[in-house]
Structure 1
């Protein structure tokens, strides 16, 4: 699968419903918290390891409409950059690509996008590859390149990353060597 990732420059994750189970907990002080999967966090470690081992440079970050500090806190824990509070994700990515990839006439073809809801649809329609969780909005599932078996916040990111780095194609020995790589 190395050749697959070499064709891409950016991987973007929505937050709610992708890295979370799309539920929010609110306490009596109006403090919000969310539930996340450690398996999804480990997937990002595997992705970084794969990049290093194969000398692949990808820009990886979270893009969320949510303005809550929990998004930034989770991004920091995952060691990911985060753009939050963006009401128009497509426009946000267009500006980013215009600034960082000004000579690329088709920057969205190099984008891998993980999204689950209608506000992700404009980006999903432009992305080179897109992933939707099993519990995504039906229109998002219809438009996505891949609809995975897991729900958002329940190993969806892990499933997608394992697909991208080709875990299923690795023998136990190859996987052991990969996991041991530092």
Structure 2
């Protein structure tokens, strides 16, 4: 036996010398071909055509310029039906999300459609106007000891205006709110 206790002991008896033999077989590394199979030639997946052959996407046919080409990204314009859909969402979205819906729609689509840019800004400005009206209504209500709470009826008219704007946008026509502080130009 060996004097070093940290050294692993061989399973053979000490009177027989160890015979050199072939090293133990290890499984192939991930991504390398199995033994007996030819390596893949520029094919990322087996049974798939190589790049440049029919059925494979051609370089430069994506949604923008190739990465690293130095060309600025040009967003794809919206179709007319998509323009109308996002304009409608900008008009009726504030019923659930206040000014957040038109703000997000305006920021995302302002470069892709002039119509959506215009209508989302109009809806966003209207929501900002409603915030000012809400603050004024709260102050009037507090000062008049709830007698001024009738001012909140203005929000019913605002909901009607938002529905009218959505109907006009569904036809592809722009809509201008009758009372609107246009802070965002």
TM range (shorter): under 0.3
Bigger Rg, which one: 2
Question: Structure with the greater relative contact order (CA < 8 A, sep ≥ 6): 1 or 2?
Answer: 1
Give TM-score, length-normalised by structure 1. Answer: 0.22
Give TM-score, length-normalised by structure 2. Answer: 0.22
The structure richer in strand per residue is 1
